């Protein structure tokens, strides 16, 4: 007579699968709860700046899914929802759309956070996204973070100001859009670029409303903020502003214009004329 030896681990495994789906899901919520804490970024000890965590690995957060097929099926959407997907190499960051294309549409839709390092190649692709991040309509992100690649080479972000300002007018499926300097070298200064980008966003919005007939309103209005310590800035998606007469509009945005002027006055002066060319 054949005897099957059952280890305590096997019994626990079978007992878990015997639980109702609702209870298994509650357990998985607990398992993946800590995934939301680590977003793949960290704070530089000496300066307080936000930098990329080179040791962060997405696979570590998804490891429980490899336990068995049933837990993989039960937990994959939850795991994707709770895990920050971080491409901390330039090569992987360059093929994010291809990586997303290997996933089921429901899995793509479950992703809430994507962070990637970027240089000029990535910015050139970014301005051609259209209305969706990476050109993928299924994405519905809480946070999209671009981290500048840190090296001995300079970033010429002013080359992309116009393209990004146009992109932001109709970008969908992104609630927070974050840019992180990551101690990288930025020609003209990172904050100066932020100020030019915000100024150009406001300029395009005004032109679309009052210089075109019929008016071309933005699909999303962004609320912006700059963190001097972290050396990062955040654009938070808001509902589009209603169309009003130009005088009323100018009164509404006056506080934003004054805030921008104050930010410009705190820029670090840079002798490179390219840093002051507007766009």
Q: What mean pLDDT do residues 148-171 have?
A: 97
Domain ranges for the chain, please list them: 87-276
pLDDT of residue 4: 39
The gap between the terminal CA atoms of the chain, to the nearest Å, is 82
Q: What is the pLDDT of residues 71-113, one digit of tens each?
A: 777 788 888 999 999 999 999 999 999 999 999 999 999 999 9
- Any bridge partners for residue 234, and if so which? 178, 225
pLDDT confidence tier of residue 272, bands split at 50, 70 and 90: low
Residues 6+ apart with CB under 8 A from 161: 193, 196, 197, 200, 279
Span of 67-71, 132-136, 254-258 with lowest mean pLDDT: 67-71
Are 170 and 205 contacting, i.e. CB atoms less than 8 angstroms apart?
A: no
pLDDT for residue 120: 97
pLDDT band at 30 (very low <50, low <70, confident <90, very high): low
- Split at pLDDT 50, 70, 90, the class of 63 is confident
On average, the pLDDT of the chain sits at 87
Say what the pLDDT of residue 156 is.
98
pTM of the entire structure?
0.86
| Spatial strand order in the sheet of 221-227 | 84-87, 113-118, 141-148, 174-180, 232-238, 221-227
Which residue has tokens 């993946």?
32
């Amino acid at each position: 007579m054949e005897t099957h030896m059952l280890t305590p681990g096997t019994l626990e495994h079978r007992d878990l699968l015997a639980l109702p789906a609702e209870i298994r899901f509650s357990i998985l919520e607990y398992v993946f709860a800590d995934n939301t804490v680590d977003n793949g970024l960290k704070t530089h000890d000496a300066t307080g700046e936000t930098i990329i965590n080179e040791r962060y690995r997405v696979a570590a957060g998804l490891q429980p899914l490899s336990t068995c097929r049933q837990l993989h099926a039960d937990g994959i959407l939850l795991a994707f929802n709770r895990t920050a997907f971080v491409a901390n190499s330039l090569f992987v960051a360059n093929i994010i759309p291809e990586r997303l294309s290997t996933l089921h549409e429901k899995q793509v839709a479950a992703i809430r956070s994507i962070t990637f390092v970027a240089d000029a190649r990535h910015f050139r692709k970014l301005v051609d996204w259209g209305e969706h991040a990476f050109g993928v309509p299924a994405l519905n992100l809480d946070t999209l973070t671009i981290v500048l690649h840190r090296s001995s080479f300079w970033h010429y972000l002013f080359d992309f100001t116009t393209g990004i300002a146009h992109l932001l007018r109709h970008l969908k499926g992104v609630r927070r859009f974050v840019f992180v300097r990551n101690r990288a070298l930025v020609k003209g200064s990172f904050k100066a670029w932020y100020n030019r980008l915000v100024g150009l966003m406001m300029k395009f919005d005004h032109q679309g409303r009052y210089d075109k007939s019929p008016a071309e309103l933005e699909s999303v209005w962004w609320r912006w903020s700059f963190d001097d310590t972290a050396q990062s800035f955040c654009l938070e998606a808001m509902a589009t502003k209603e169309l009003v007469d130009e005088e009323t509009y100018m009164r509404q945005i006056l506080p934003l214009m004054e805030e921008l002027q104050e930010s410009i006055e705190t820029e670090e002066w840079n002798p490179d004329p390219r840093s002051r060319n507007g766009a």
